[in-house]
Chain A
Amino acid sequence: MKRHHTAAVAALACTALVLAGCGQDGESDSASLEACLTDPAGCNSGERADGGEVTWALDGSWGTWNQNTSEGNNAYVSAALVGMWPYTGQFDPGGEYLFNEGILASAPELVKEDPVTVEYTLQDGANWGDGTDITVDDFIYHWYATSGDESRCEGCDPANITRGSQVESITGDGAQVTVTYKDTYHSAEWQYEEILSSPAHVAEAEGFDWQNDPADMKAAEDFFSTTVPTWSTGPFKIDDAKVGEHVIYVPNDDWAGETEVTLDKVTFRVIDGLENIVTALRNGEIDGASPFSVTAETITQLQGAEGLEYAVAGGPSFEHIDLNTKNEFLEDPVLRQAIFTAIDIENIIARTYAYVQSDIERKGNHLFRNGSDYYTDYLSATGQGTGDVELAYDLLEEAGYELDAGVLRDPDGKAVELDFRYSESKENRRITGELVQANLADLGIKVELESIPDADLGTVLGEGDFDMIDFGWSSEPTFVAAASQYWETGSGSNFGALSDPDLDALIAEVNGTLDIDEAAVRANAAVEQVVQNAYSLPIVDTPVAVMVSDRLVNVRDNWASQQRAAYNIAEWGVAAE
């Protein structure tokens, strides 16, 4: 561990100079992925040689080019278009938000609180890579496309309208663009809202009168869905692409960003299946990948390979067990509390996720990662996840439950029986189920394991066809909307149908402040209330791996970004000799 320690010091000094090519001097370990444990945002950095080509594998495909639409809400298209898409910015692996240097000159400013009014200053020369500058029209186009308002975009299917439906007006004057929200908008995450998507001038050139005709607006959205975006606001532009298969980038000479791009060509290609990715990487067909799953078998493969580096860390989603409050037994909070208490989370982790990530920790908060500034552990104090069967049994006895010849009976004398569901292909969730089964058997509860075909998870959840279920939620750094989506009474994603008026009141408050720190405090209050309800038991942040050829530098994983390791594609390069 000593080595890691020195690496961390060296790397800390590096973060400030990442682009200047730190990590060259002697024994510094920040030039490897190993340092990511202690320096997530600066590991594997190094000086880049001019030129070079990189082929990066994506472990899933996409069927549209337009990320506004429900079909385009896909992590793979988001990664594949990272070189050209006008994202507002990215969280880096350390949790710090970096604004898109090719678009914004500075962080957006809150000029008025009531109604919320935000001013954006465009980067000097921010453009679409085809000779046209980014203008206020492009902001308006994105607003219309995501407004969910039939009078602006008729028959559109935006993936989410949380921001778009709240915009009152957008005005602009040269490089200054002002977005005024409605009175109902109070998101503490106003800085991070996406503001741009497709170029308005291209829509006009195609003959769509999108500003005035909602049907034309829809037609423009359809056009962008099926058209390979050859324009670019990023460090690269698309040279060749086939939907769902590959995207080939060459540098974008018109990019307004400061970072120097050294690579001549970056290819994203789809390779289905983790096993195939690792084989192709070992065979030199690709230079790296950051797939959304990792298994102990693939780690064995990677360990035996030469010229490769890999790192495993918690990824962009977390595992948790939910209980269905509609179940005749589980509607009793005492039973829920007892079940969560009897489940031994540390043992589950040791027999599943610890095989791929040795330093993995139990997750203590649904909304904030362990180690985040806002992280508070409300779980430990309750005894949930300790596997303390005696404590659990005492709780039940007090509430009138009885253990009768090894069978737990509720106060009405009914034997408690439950099912436990998990996605078929997720081995770790199956093992979790087997271990929960064993834990609850000690309590006299019979648990039946039932797997779910991979494509049917949504259906099973939506229909509430489970008693206990193990699945994953996104653990993005943004949190304001999450609490209400997971736990508010009647929310479409509150699959176990929890209904707690006190919790609803706490959730409503999260969205009532513009200050992110204050919002986090309020979100934590909601988390505490959920824990009291014994409704959802987090296990771990799902481990994921990044695997890279050791000839590359500045490539590292980023759990906080949908694009994962590709988040800093402009900085990627081939190591200087």
Chain B
Amino acid sequence: MVVFIIRRTLLMIPVLLGATILCFVLVDAVNDPVQDMVFEIQQSTGEPVPQSTVDALEASLYYDRSIPERYWLWLTGIGDTNGDIGLLKGEWGPSIEGSAMDIGYEISTRFWITLRLVLFATLASIGLAILSGVVSAVKQYSRTDYTLTFLGFLFLAMPVFWLGSLFKEGAVQLNKLLGSTIFQTYGSGSTGFQGNGWEVFLNSIPYLIVPTLVLMLGGYAAISRYQRASMLEVMNSDYVRLARAKGVRNRTVMRRHALRTALIPVATFAPLALSGAMGGAMVTESIFGWRGLGVYSLDAIRAGDTFVVMAYVLISGLVVLVGVLISDILYGVLDPRIRYE
């Protein structure tokens, strides 16, 4: 088991390297943010930008080097001039947003913001999925089953951005109806709010409800179909039939034998769902103004802010790979038929 984990962890390195190289080339080759910055300065000052400033800007963002040099610099930090770059040295590189934007700090605070959003949504969607999957399986081919199946398909077909826009506007209307601001539509908490974890959580509840609902409905359907299939398989297995034949009460059979086994696939799927949702929350984040990782990367992509994109690729890649690894490990732990050499 330990050997398995170590081997898988080591295998992550080449995959992450490959992913970052590919992204770096794609993002860097097509953007020239310095030229656009210079244009914006000219546009707002109405005066020419001195060449010395352009040079200083290029040097501070390392745009005076070639793409391979920039990647190598980003990775190792060998040959940096400002001491702000080099992943191996723990530096994430400069952001074109400005020197007060520390990518490392942004990534770490935004990670928790995204996690807060995604954790509840994923837990809720797994809960909903188990419920609907089990009911569907137990009442197979009944009207309830068809209705639940249809609902699942419906939410699977619904674009998250559309559902999000609808719910957001719905929350505003509901507020108006109730005459108070219960739901907030933008941000993840009161501006400048400070406190311990619990206080931050309490503060964020009005901001959390609607986006969580959106993410939950967008995510539960796939898991629910999974749960229904696995429940059906178990219910048709010999040992459940044996238990029934022995005269054990139906309810007990369901709870003790069928459900417990049928939960294994979903349990192993959970880490993967969570890590996938971390990467996929950018639409919800951008609609509800959560300053999470997804929105950060989205803005960086639009602006051609290479080092921010790289940080995001690295972090989200790591989250996905770790999610897959935990999934596989859980699978082995929960399902005795699987063994790792």
Contact = CB atoms under 8 A, between A and B. Distances in A.
Interface of A: 55, 61-65, 70-75, 148, 150, 155-162, 165, 222, 225-226, 240-246, 248, 267, 269, 271-272, 276, 279-280, 282-285, 317, 454-459, 461-462, 472-474, 476, 478, 481-482, 485, 491-493, 562
B56 A156 contact: yes
Contact of B45 (A160, A269, A279, A458): A160
A241 B192 CA distance: 7
Contacts of B168: 279
A225 B186 contact: no
Contacts of A493: 42, 48
A485 B99 contact: no
B46 A478 contact: yes
A244 B97 contact: yes
Interface of B: 31-33, 35-50, 52-53, 56-57, 59-60, 95-101, 168-169, 171-172, 175, 181, 183-187, 191-192, 194, 286, 289, 291, 299, 302-304
Contact of A280 (B41, B185, B286): B185
Contacts of A317: 43
B118 to A, nearest CB: 20
A160 to B, nearest CB: 5
Contact of A72 (B56, B98, B185, B303): B98
A225 B98 contact: yes
Contacts of B57: 70-71, 157
A455 B304 contact: yes
Most chain B beta carbons < 10 A, residue from A70, A222, A457, A461: A70
Nearest to B299: A272
Given A245-B191, A283-B172, A458-B40, 13 more contacts: A63-B96, A73-B41, A148-B50, A148-B52, A160-B49, A225-B99, A242-B192, A243-B101, A271-B186, A283-B181, A455-B33, A462-B39, A485-B42
Contacts of B44: 73-75, 474, 562
A203 to B, nearest CB: 16
Nearest to A246: B191
Most chain B beta carbons < 10 A, residue from A161, A267, A482: A161
Contact of B191 (A55, A159, A225, A562): A55
Contacts of B96: 63
10 contacts: A70-B53, A70-B57, A158-B50, A240-B192, A243-B100, A245-B191, A246-B191, A272-B286, A461-B39, A492-B48
A63 B50 CA distance: 21
A267 B175 CA distance: 23
B43 to A, nearest CB: 6
A157 B57 CA distance: 6
Contacts of B53: 70, 148, 156-159, 161
Given A245-B291, A279-B169, A459 B36 contact: yes
A457 B192 contact: no
A150 B46 contact: no
Contacts of A63: 95-101
A285 B184 CA distance: 7
Nearest to B109: A242
B54 to A, nearest CB: 8
A282 B36 contact: no
B191 A267 contact: yes
Contacts of B169: 279
A463 B53 CA distance: 19
A201 to B, nearest CB: 21
Contacts of B35: 458-459, 462
Contacts of A222: 99
Contacts of B286: 272
Contacts of A454: 302
Contacts of A272: 286, 289, 299
B101 A244 contact: yes
Contacts of B303: 455
A226 B50 contact: no
